Structure 1
Amino acid sequence: METSVLAFATDLLDEGADTFFGNLTDRAGVGGVTLASVYHEARDVFPHNPHRVLRYLEPGAAYFRPDPARWSGRRLTPLPSTAIGTRDPFAEAAEETRRRGLKLHAWTVFCHNDRLGFVHPDCAPANAFGDRHLTELCPANPEVREYCHTLVEELARYGVDAIRAESLHFHGLAHGYHHERYFEQLGPVTEALLSVCFCPYCLAAATAAGVPAEHVRDTVRAELRARLADETRALAPAPLDQLAGGALAAYLDAAARTVTTLTAELAATAAAHGMRLTFMDGGGPGTGWLSGIDLPALATAAHRIETLGYAKTPEEVREKVAAFALHGVRPENMAVILRPMSSDCDGPANLAAKITTLRELGVPEVEFYNYGLMRLSSLDRIGAALR
């Protein structure tokens, strides 16, 4: 079984290579590191960081040094984090992992990018009213797809073993934007309908698939107006698969094909450079229908599917993996992320039992979240569990 710990490049920069990689090998005993290459905005507490306990991560920042020639003439380009200065954490990590016999994975957030969405709103998803979700990039947009391809090619320069593709899909309305708020009760149907993208490229993709896309948009807009005006209507259930005469379901199927084809293209690009592409599905089966996540199709498009095994017991972890098998994702084609912290684990035995469960199921890869957000005792817990 392959093992690695997810980490931020700032962990490496703040602690230095000897401490950072020493903790990974001597404490956690893992065989690799999954380093964030492009990441979203966040505010985190770092229990063992020697320089800061609280850090704000910049929106949509890159933690490698992009090749200017590769991005020449592009509007969508990765902007290095100010936290890395003139350094290239990925180059440093690549050198150290080669020297130490470890694998390096690139944890890459593709379409959840506040920085690029706000600067280029025409590349962001649009709801039925034409309002743009500026924290995101739309995977149907040709510029966004080109940006994603080039990111994969860039990361191949570092000898990366695998791309961990996070947010390679659409996002819903409620995705945790700073001070995100609505004081009237919207209800789940209203939230769902406000999440569907009707940008020109999504409309064109659906139309090409034989869907009356503009009729779907107009119907969704009218339904939203009625629900926004009337709380009773807003909280009432509705069979979304029957909306617009069943055409909304077909429209969402077209959105899923957008995500699947992009994933397949990026996986092919990764393979051409000797890398794997792992599609990260954090929600689990049955939760990604608004995000364009078609698990059976993605199981074929990507090299692996990764999910969150966040749970208190080994039985719950087993159930999570079994749910994927029911949706066409076999355990041998999966990677699972576990949390060794006290929120999920009461000790090494609990974590060891979860790892044993994954081995028995045939899952070939387990990762642990997240290096900088753990206490050092949690890294020790990983090492004890793996031993």
Structure 2
Amino acid sequence: MRMTIYAYPWDLARVGVERALKQICADGISAIDLTASYHPIDALSPREGVSIFTNARGAVYFPPRDERYGRIKPHVHSPEISAIWPETARHAHALGLDLNAWTITLFQPWIRDAHPDCARVFPSGNPSGSGVCPANDDVREFLVTMCEDMVDQFGIKLVRLENIMPVFDFDWLRPRTLITVPPFARTLMNLCFCNACITKAVAKGLDPVRLREIVNTAINSDISEGCSNDHRTAALADDAELRAYAELAMRSSTELVTAIAAAIKGKARVSINAAASYAMLIGTAREDELLGEFLSAADQAELIPGHPDNAHVAALAGGLAPPREISAMIPVVRATGLTGPALQARLAAPEARVQAAVDAGATELSLYNFGLLRESDISEFAASIRRDFG
């Protein structure tokens, strides 16, 4: 079983890059998934004495070549931390350790702050406070350029694109929802009505004004009644324009992955995680077709920790020609802590998640996370994987 490990550059800076990579190699791990861009975070590390790292709006963590970029310029966290990237590349190549780029895509509040027009817009007309839209041309240009930039600089083997297909991102940053949002309302709330999405819809002959009106009426009714109404759901699912609008949303993510893959073709592979939420609107068969198109745009599918559709996604990826490799992110949660009881309950058994991933067809396990665990935690867990799965 091939293993990789997620790592933050600020943790490598504290531990020491060469020392950290040598330990990773000693644990039988084949690649490091180093953060290239990241969302807001407050992280506690037990390494080299307890340390807390915070970043309120996300950032880029490698040294970009600004002249390559268009309207959206990379917001770099700091020269000190971004300097870890070339140092890691140098030592990784010397040690025979593959270097992957762990790339957060749409959960980029700093882009939304600098360019509000890039934000996803909910059917209500409210922009997301933290997420940007894959249909936006400036967002696409930035992500394609960023991936090509870091691949050209550092000899990256694989670009790991995280959450490039948004799923009910009411808000990724400290959301407050004290009521149940019925399933069909969740589906409809996932639709984006930013200018980019509206423009693409109009070009296809759709009427986004009408669609937004019927979507909002259904959302309000579902939430007011506390449940999805079968008659109302069926009526909207019969609306050909609304189904086409949902398909455009899924295809926006596929187009972005396709553009990134084309830009780095022959230089690095592309990995994506995948989940979709439009089956209630477009039907399961059609959603599977579109999800298959999305998966086929990449070289590898990564399973989302604890997601109920992982086995289904793996089956879709395995059924493509050629079959896509299956990887699985494995959060190695070892104790209750500051993340709260809900997350702990969901991620309390990493060994069980490894078995589920293997059962789904995974041939690669990506351990999370180097800096958030003690050295012994990683060594022991990696040893158990080698013992049980070779």
| AA matched with 2:111 | L
Q: Does 1:280 align with 2:285?
A: no
Deviation at 1:88, TM superposition (A): 1.4
Alignment of 1:260-279 (within 5 A): 260-272=254-266, 274-279=267-272
Residue aligned with 1:43, SS: strand
Aligned in 2, Cα 1:225/1:288: closer, same or farther, shift over 3 Å? closer
Query: SS state of the match for residue 85, structure 1?
Result: helix
Moved over 6 A (4+): none
Matching of residues 1-387 of structure 1 within 5 Å: 1-26=1-26, 28-46=27-45, 48-71=46-69, 74-82=70-78, 85=80, 87-156=82-151, 157-178=153-174, 180-183=175-178, 186-226=181-221, 231-232=224-225, 234-238=226-230, 240=233, 242-243=235-236, 245-272=239-266, 274-281=267-274, 284=275, 287=277, 294-308=290-304, 310=306, 320-321=310-311, 324-326=314-316, 329=319, 332-342=324-334, 343-345=348-350, 357=359, 361=361, 363-380=362-379, 381-387=381-387
Deviation, 1:288, is 6.9
Taking structure 1 as reference, are residues 353 and 135 closer, same or farther at Cα in structure 2, changes over 3 Å only? closer
2:7, 2:33 within 8 Å by CA — same for their partners in 1? yes
* Equivalent position of 2:344 in the other structure: none
- Give the whole-Å Cα distance in 1 for the aligned partners of 2:163 and 2:372: 21
- Secondary structure at the aligned position of 1:133 is classed as strand
- CA contact under 8 A between 1:3 and 1:367: conserved in structure 2? yes
CA distance in 2, matches of 1:356, 1:143: 38
- Note closer, same or farther for the CA distance 1:288–1:44 as it changes in structure 2 (3 Å cut): farther
Residues 251 and 294 of structure 2 are in contact (CA less than 8 Å); yes or no, is this contact kept in structure 1?
no
Distance 1:79 1:267 in 2: 23
TM-score by length of structure 1 reads 0.82
Cα distance in 2 between the residues matched to 1:209 and 1:352? 44
Note closer, same or farther for the CA distance 1:271–1:25 as it changes in structure 2 (3 Å cut). Answer: same
Scaled by the length of structure 2, the TM-score of the pair is 0.82
Change (3 A) 1:56 1:276: same
SS of alignment partner, residue 29 of structure 2: coil
Identity %: 23
Rate the CA distance shift 1:369–1:189 in 2: closer, same or farther, 3 A: same
Q: Which moved more, 1:102-111 or 1:199-208?
A: 199-208
1:168–1:279 Cα contact (<8 Å) kept: yes
2: CA distance, partners of 1:87 / 1:326: 37
Shift of 1:217: 1.4
Tell me how far apart the structure 1 counterparts of residues 364 and 177 of structure 2 sit (CA, whole Å): 40
Q: Is the Cα contact below 8 Å between 1:310 and 1:337 reproduced in 2?
A: no
2:270 and 2:148 map into 1 onto residues whose CA distance is 12
What amino acid maps onto 1:324 in structure 2?
A: A
1:309–1:192 distance in 2 versus 1, CA, 3 Å: closer
Alpha-carbon distance in structure 1 between the residues aligned to 2:234 and 2:97: 48
Decide whether the 8 Å contact of 2:299 with 2:324 is kept in 1: no
Q: CA deviation at 1:160?
A: 0.5
Letter paired with 1:242:
A
Deviates more, 1:242-251 or 1:153-162: 242-251
Task: Report how far residue 166 of structure 1 moved.
Answer: 0.8
